[in-house]
Amino acid sequence: MKTIVSLIASSAVAASAGAATFTNSPDADSFVRAAAPTANYGGAGALSVSGATATNLNGAAQGVSDTFMRFNTSAMAASFNSTFGAGNWAVSGATLAVTETGAPANAVFNRGAGHFEIKWIVNDNWTEGSGMPMSPGSTGIVYNNEATLLNPAVDCGLGVFTNAGVDGVLSFPLALTRSFVGDLDLGGEVGLYLTATDPQTGFTFNSRSFTTASARPTLQISALPVPVLTGIQVAGAGATLTVTNITTNAVYILLTSTNLATPLAQWIVVATNSAAANGPLKITMTNTQTQGAPQRYFVLSTRAASSQ
């Protein structure tokens, strides 16, 4: 039987063996309202995610509101390339942080804690606009654009979360789906879409236009250096991999499949190892060769210990 080992990458050794983080600020954000489907609110100091039955300060329901956000990650990619070497890094975590206003004074915004979903969307082709809650704009993204901007066949969910319903900072750890990570790897525009999954959700939070810069939304991305395979030792039916360029306390997961086309989520975990403080990481596999079995492929996946 032929054993093939495939890692995330195995090129040049990175410049650093530690994890790195980068905080991205949005370059565009806006909310849209079903109650005003042709109105733009891109210049507002707040964003809204609301269900159909949530009510405002006067107890009146203002209907569904959804939020679009876009982050330019070119500076992030340049920073990781500088730290680890061009292309020698892998995204290990993503967190959206926002500052909530629990009781917004403007009647356009609903109130109430509830569930909402954050999605990565493939379509970044929308314009923020400059409309305000008291004077909506006629140009820029509006509710009627949603049908053309959203693509259920391609867009993917990054998690369902709950707002607090009170003033404060909230952090939402996002799922690292293949499409989302692939978009981050490109170092270009990355789009998010927030929509209520409970009818009573009334989530209001600061936008990128908010007066205080430190209270604006951020997308924090963490990355680890790509591990490098430096040796394979076969003994009987087993094999030991030697991996360098590791991150202390990171978790390395070896997965296997007999078919490269199998989605990574369906690959079988062979071994899970935490990197030691010193020396290369050695991963031992047993029964890698079985008489008459098809060839097998292996992928080494990396994640920070704190993301477990």
Residue ranges covered by each domain of the chain: 3-17+225-307, 21-224
Pairing of strands 3-5, 296-303: parallel
CB neighbours of 252 closer than 8 A, spacing ≥ 6?
A: 227, 243, 246, 272, 273, 274, 275, 281, 283, 300, 301, 302
Does residue 125 sit in helix, strand or coil?
A: coil
Output the pLDDT for position 287: 61
In this prediction the pTM is 0.80
Provide the pLDDT for residue 10: 29
- Is residue 47 within 8 A of residue 30, CB to CB? The reply is yes
Over the range 200-234, which residues count as b (16 or more CB within 10 Å of their CB) and which as e? Answer: bbbbbbbbbbbeeeeebbbbbbbbbbbbbbeeeee
Residue keyed to tokens 């492929």: 297
Q: What is the pLDDT along the chain (308 residues), one digit of tens a residue?
A: 344 444 433 222 333 347 899 999 999 999 999 999 999 999 999 999 999 999 999 999 999 999 999 999 999 999 999 998 898 898 989 999 999 999 999 999 999 999 999 999 999 999 999 999 999 998 999 999 999 999 999 999 999 999 999 999 999 999 999 999 999 999 999 999 999 999 999 999 999 999 999 999 999 999 988 877 777 787 776 778 788 777 776 777 888 888 888 887 788 888 777 665 556 777 777 765 544 556 777 777 765 443 33
Please tell me the CATH code under which domain 3-17+225-307 is placed.
Answer: 2.60.40
What is the Cα–Cα distance from 231 to 217, expressed in whole angstroms? 44
Quick check: helix, strand or coil at residue 277? coil
pLDDT at 77 (0 to 100) = 97
Supply the pLDDT for residue 297.
79
